[in-house]
Amino acid sequence: MTEEALNTIVWSAFLVIALYPVELMFPAEAHQGIRGRILNFCYMPVIIGFSYATLPITNEIATRLSLALPDLPTFVVVPTHPAAVALTSLAFAIIWDTWQYWVHRLQHKSPLLWPTHEFHHSETTMNASTHARVHAASHVLYVLLWLPVVTALGTVAPHWIAAFLIFRLWGYFIHANIRLGFGWLTPWIAGPQFHRIHHSRLPEHQDKNFAPLFPFIDIAFGTYYRPAPGEYPATGLVLDKDVGFLEQATIEPFRMWRDIWHALLRPPQK
């Protein structure tokens, strides 16, 4: 495992542990059990290690795509002035978040892509550790769909600033079991209450609030739901499944795809 992967695991563990006392003091959902949190915490090094193990492959494919498409316009900028670095990182974060919004939305709307995401939404006691509750198939999907963007934008600084913020830090905060609304900032920056709506079991909250960082992207595409004061719904799948954590984290998506395939092959009923 690389030093960068180990550092990310350490930072992630630190955030989950640091947020826990706040979750206990100001819980969105009181009296949560500890078992799910422990399972997520143990799973976290596995999925982070997997993501870093696939990184060299991603970079290699992106490099080959760039070489194979020499006329492809690129938008790589490597500024040095602090203000330019900040503005470029912000622009990259908005591009990245818009891309994430659409991949995330596709995962919810497509029966073929939903199996990659169901594990994440099966969390009934959402907390900071839920951010790490992601199936490896979801990571592979994001990598494959991200390749064209990496080819066009490049992987150089200051992109890593936005990437680290979105993928490694902010995600733990927005999943935290904290009773915290952002008031007038709600349409501009995602917080725990905004994202809890996305994980809600209630029908009025389904397919809402997809953006990981910028809610105004949901506003732009018609999927924004502004939570009312004190609105902290129960989370989890609309239809519960009797599947254990280990199965969900490993073979469950493949079973779902098998069932879809069998349904397609089944002759129509007369």
- Of the ranges 44-53, 142-151, 173-182, 223-232, which one carries the lowest mean pLDDT score? 142-151
- Of the ranges 51-65, 124-138, 163-177, 236-250, which one carries the lowest mean pLDDT score? 51-65
pLDDT of 157 strictly over 60: no
Q: Which amino acid would we find at residue 243?
A: V
Mean pLDDT of the chain: 87
Is residue 217 within 8 Å of 211, Cβ to Cβ?
Answer: yes
Predicted local confidence at residue 60, as pLDDT: 75
Predicted local confidence at residue 163, as pLDDT: 62
Q: In which band, very low, low, confident or very high, does the pLDDT at 66 lie, cut at 50, 70 and 90?
A: low
Predicted local confidence at residue 65, as pLDDT: 65
Q: In which band, very low, low, confident or very high, does the pLDDT at 64 lie, cut at 50, 70 and 90?
A: confident
Mean pLDDT within 74-89: 67
| Among 191, 177, 231, CA closest to 21 | 177
Residue-wise burial string across 89-111, b where 16 or more C-beta atoms lie within 10 A, e elsewhere: beebbebbbebbbebbbbbbeee
Strand partners, 235: 200
Mean pLDDT within 53-82: 67
pLDDT of 76 strictly over 70: no
Measured CA to CA, the distance from residue 238 to residue 258 in angstroms comes to 22
pLDDT of 41 strictly over 90: yes
Predicted local confidence at residue 96, as pLDDT: 84
Predicted local confidence at residue 55, as pLDDT: 78
